[in-house]
Amino acid sequence: MIILTTSHRPTRRVRSLCKDLASSIPGLIRVNRGKMGLIEVAERAVSVGSEKFIVIDRWKGCPGRIRFYRVVDGEIREEPPRIYISGVKLRREFKTFHGGRREKINSLFMNVSEPLDQEREIFRSKLSEILEVPMLKIGGETLNYQAYMHVGSGENCWAYISFFLLPGRVEVGPRIKISHVVWDV
C-alpha cells in the first residue's frame, strides 16, 4: 500500500489527477492532506502499514510535480526520480469515459513491449519498483490482468505515462506528459 496525497491547497485538477491515479494503480490510497505536514503524512503511511507515500504538487493551478517519499528508520527520504509534469489529460476527458463511472482497476502491470532509450528505460523500471507494479510484455502471462501502464517517448515532451484497459487496449487515462525528471534529489 502507498499513500497518495497533494500539496497544500490543491486545485480541482490536482485533486482529479489524484483520484484518477488512485483508481488506476492498485494499492494506492488517496488521503486528503489538509494542513498535514510531511511528518503527519509519513505517520499516516506508517499507520496503514506502508513505508512509501507520493505527493502531487501544483504549479500555476495544474499538476506540476510528482515526488516519491520513503520512511526509513523514522526518517523521511525523497526517492528519485522527481517527475515534472507539462500536461495532464484526465480520465473524464477521454472518449471512453462512461457517464461519471470511475472504475477501479484491480490488477495492473507495466508494459515493456516497446523498447525505450536507456534513460527512459531506467525511469520505467524505477517507476515500476516504486509503484510495486510488475514489468511484463503483453502476451499469455498478462491474460489475468485488467489493465496496463505504458511509458512512452512523446513528441512534445520527454516521456508520457498512460493507462490502457485490456483486452481491447483502450486508453482510459490519466495521461501524464513529463517535461523532465530529476534524479539528484
**Residues 124-165 pLDDT 10s:** 999 999 999 999 998 888 889 999 999 999 889 999 999 999
Total structural domains within the chain: 1
What's the domain range around 105? 2-182
Contacts of 181 (CB under 8 A, 6+ apart): 80, 81, 82, 83, 84, 123, 158, 159
- Three-state secondary-structure class, residue 81: strand
C-alpha cell at 155: 513528441
Residue pair 19/30 in contact by the 8 Å Cβ criterion: yes
**CA dist list (Å): 144 to 94, 112, 134, 139, 167:** 24, 17, 13, 10, 10
Q: What band does 74 get if pLDDT is binned at 50, 70 and 90?
A: confident
Whole-model pTM: value is 0.92
Is the confidence at residue 98, as pLDDT, over 80?
Answer: no
- Hey, which bits of 9-113 come out as E strands? 28-30, 52-59, 62-72, 75-89, 108-111
Q: What is the pLDDT of residue 97?
A: 53
Q: What is the pLDDT of residues 99-134, one digit of tens each?
A: 445 678 999 999 999 999 999 999 999 999 999 999
Does residue 96 have a pLDDT over 80?
A: no
Residues present in the chain in total:
185
CB distance 143 to 106 below 8 Å: no
